[in-house]
Amino acid sequence: MNSTIRIGNCSGFYGDRISAVHEMLVGGELDYLTGDYLAELTMLILGRDRMKDPELGYAKTFLRQMEDGLGLAMDKGVRIVVNAGGLNPAGLTAKLRELAERVGVSARFAHVEGDDLTARAAELGLGQPLTANAYLGGWGIAECLSAGADVVVTGRVTDASVVVGPAAHHFGWGRTEYDRLAGAVAAGHVIECGTQATGGNFAFFTEIDDLARPGFPIAEIRADGSSVITKHAGTGGAVTVDTVTAQLMYEIQDARYAGPDVTTRLDTVTLTQQGPDRVEISGVRGEAPPPQVKVSLNTLGGFRNEMAFVLTGLDIEAKAELARTQLEAWLPVRPAELTWDLARLDRENAETEEQASAILRCVVRDTDPNKVGRAFSNVAVELALASYPGCTFLSMPGNGSPYGIYTPGYVDVQQVPHIAVLPDGTRVEVAPAGETRPLTPVADPDLPPPLDAGPTVDAPLGALAAARSGDKGGNANIGVWVRTDEQWRWLAHTLTVDELRRMLPETVDLPITRTLLPQLRAVNFVIEGILGKGVAYQARFDPQAKGLAEWLRSRHLTIPAALLGPVTSSDPTAQEAGS
């Protein structure tokens, strides 16, 4: 047994770089290649696929990747673990067997099922969703690998489980070796989103020399659960403490990162730069998992349509009011939801027409597609010659499209089957966690006294802090971190919930929870309800909160000048504010 295994990632979402499987297999040595194809929105997309054809419901792009990737992986002795099975892991596995026979590759296939609770949703108190999928852990994967599977396909497992399963199998970990399992979860969480760990979506992206085509990440996991995050030599991007921190902070809730196998204590993670493109993750502690398993629930909420008016030049507010008044009066029937949003992107005395223009969006939703179809969009266009001067639109009229609503559910671990279907067809039931621990908040750590750093400047938060944001249903998180202990003392005392609300006025009436992570020099915020009913609901123009952290970084506050040195902000308006 090797003391270290190399687990690479080739996909962070359904639609990621199609060539990544080939790039990872030819770029260097690997023991396992994993891919994450599922997200909350993806489950809705796959659910609609399954409605059209019961044999679908899986990530079709993975089959394309295996056309040449399967033979290459078998030749190199690389085993593959992916959650591309989506709602139909058995169906995808059957397709892979057909593909292997067609291309003449000998491989053993297995899959994991049991996560799909759709047929039992009402019985379990989950309503009547389009899809209901429990987040399984890594032990079914480990069972398949122990039976000799070369390729393991799963449905909805936690994103990190495709890494935890191979590590637990390889090292023979037990179900209660929580620190080792938590270390693998941390590594899996870092590499699950692909190139986000190697410089993609990174706040300090200008510091990375080559970001033209970032390489996909690799976790070198040791028997004790510690790991090194790296990438193939010669690939773009970078692996640094900051790029790894960025992914650790992505889509988290608080210091306890719960999963079906282990609850990982993010407040125990230590990151160390070992060398170029090598970051060690160590010291991770784990606890027994919670007594309930999270369930991803997607329902069809109704139908949605949108028209965007362009308002140019003077009297923007008056023009918007006229358009609103006319449209609402002219509609033959009012949809259940009708909302307006005016984005003042215009500038005074602008040098281009685009810079002189604002955007007025009208969004309608209803369970009746007729109310949000041409009955709405045609009326909007009828205003073209009868409304404000310069009336024009960003899109042509069209029919409404269906939208989904994501909600999390929770069921007792004993209620969720977990079945490993081995290469020979044997079905093995994987027992749920034998011991559990209810989730409770972690108390904030004691902080050092506030920093007394002398004169201050008015500057954007991003002059010294990095940040990463993401979606979880209708909620969003923003993780903010800094690089030095002095900056951390300032950040922890300054960036409070009240200060966040001041800096982001759209959050002023929303519940916000703050978590301190001193070992990462980080602060995490969870903002409830900012994304409405989830990404498919499209409550905001940024429905997945991808840019929320960058908005926060652009906002100004008073920062001790000593923490910045010469003002390093790219914003030339940063000025001294006094002492």
Domain ranges of the chain: 4-287, 297-405, 456-578
Give me 397's structure tokens: 């009229």
CA angle 233, 160, 468 (to 5 degrees): 75
* pLDDT score of 145 more than 80: yes
Residue type, 40: E
Q: Burial, 44: exposed, middle or buried (Cβ in 10 Å; 0-12, 13-18, 19+)?
A: buried
Residue type, 19: S
Q: What is the pLDDT of residue 271?
A: 98
Q: At how many degrees (to 10) do helices 316-330 and 374-382 cross?
A: 130
Task: Give the model's confidence band at 570: pLDDT under 50 very low, under 70 low, under 90 confident, else very high.
Answer: very low
Q: What is the pLDDT of residue 427?
A: 98
* pLDDT score of 575 more than 70: no
* pLDDT score of 371 more than 90: yes
- Mean pLDDT of all residues in 66-90: 97
Element (H, E) at 278: strand 278-282
* pLDDT score of 373 more than 90: yes
Task: Give the model's confidence band at 345: pLDDT under 50 very low, under 70 low, under 90 confident, else very high.
Answer: very high
| Of 499, 485, 493, 487, residue with least CA distance to 516 | 493
Please give the Cα distance from 216 to 200 (Å, whole number).
10
Q: What percent of the chain stands above pLDDT 90?
A: 91
| Of 520, 555, 570, 522, residue with least CA distance to 270 | 520
Q: What is the pLDDT of residue 242?
A: 98
Burial 556-572 (b: 16+ CB within 10 A, else e): bbebbbebbeebebeee
- Mean pLDDT of all residues in 368-397: 95
Give me 182's structure tokens: 């938590």
Q: What is the pLDDT of residue 453?
A: 78
Give me 339's structure tokens: 């909302």
Q: What is the pLDDT of residue 568?
A: 39
Neighbours of 483 (CB within 10 A): 15
CA angle 537, 540, 545 (to 5 degrees): 95
Neighbours of 447 (CB within 10 A): 12
Element (H, E) at 188: helix 178-191
Task: Give the model's confidence band at 538: pLDDT under 50 very low, under 70 low, under 90 confident, else very high.
Answer: confident
Could you report the per-residue pLDDT of 410-439, keeping only the tens digit for each?
A: 999 999 999 999 999 999 999 999 999 999
Phi, psi dihedral angles at 244 (to 5 degrees): -70, -40
Strands 131-134 and 357-366: unpaired
- Mean pLDDT of all residues in 185-204: 98
Q: How many CA atoms lie within 13 A of 219 on its CB side?
A: 35
Could you report the per-residue pLDDT of 4-38, keeping only the tens digit for each?
A: 999 999 999 999 999 999 999 999 999 999 999 99
Q: What is the pLDDT of residue 362?
A: 97
Q: What is the pLDDT of residue 534?
A: 87
Task: Give the model's confidence band at 579: pLDDT under 50 very low, under 70 low, under 90 confident, else very high.
Answer: very low
Could you report the per-residue pLDDT of 99-144, keeping only the tens digit for each?
A: 999 999 999 999 999 999 999 999 999 999 999 999 999 999 999 9
Q: At how many degrees (to 10) do helices 60-76 and 20-27 cross?
A: 10
Q: What is the pLDDT of residue 1?
A: 59
* pLDDT score of 578 more than 50: no
Could you report the per-residue pLDDT of 243-286, keeping only the tens digit for each?
A: 999 999 999 999 999 999 999 999 999 999 999 999 999 999 99
Please give the Cα distance from 361 to 320 (Å, whole number).
10
Q: How many CA atoms lie within 13 A of 82 on its CB side?
A: 36
Q: What is the mean pLDDT of the chain?
A: 95
* pLDDT score of 309 more than 80: yes
CA distances (Å), 148 to each of 4, 109, 260, in order?
A: 20, 9, 24
* Strand stretches in 43-157, DSSP E: 79-82, 109-113, 131-134, 151-154
CA distances (Å), 82 to each of 32, 41, 112, in order?
A: 10, 18, 10
Which CATH code is given to the segment(s) 297-405?
3.30.70.380
Q: Which one-letter DSSP state was computed for residue 195? A: G
Please give the Cα distance from 577 to 561 (Å, whole number).
10
Task: Give the model's confidence band at 452: pLDDT under 50 very low, under 70 low, under 90 confident, else very high.
Answer: confident
Q: What is the pLDDT of residue 419?
A: 98
Task: Give the model's confidence band at 537: pLDDT under 50 very low, under 70 low, under 90 confident, else very high.
Answer: confident
Q: What is the pLDDT of residue 154?
A: 98
CB 451 within 8 A of CB 560: yes
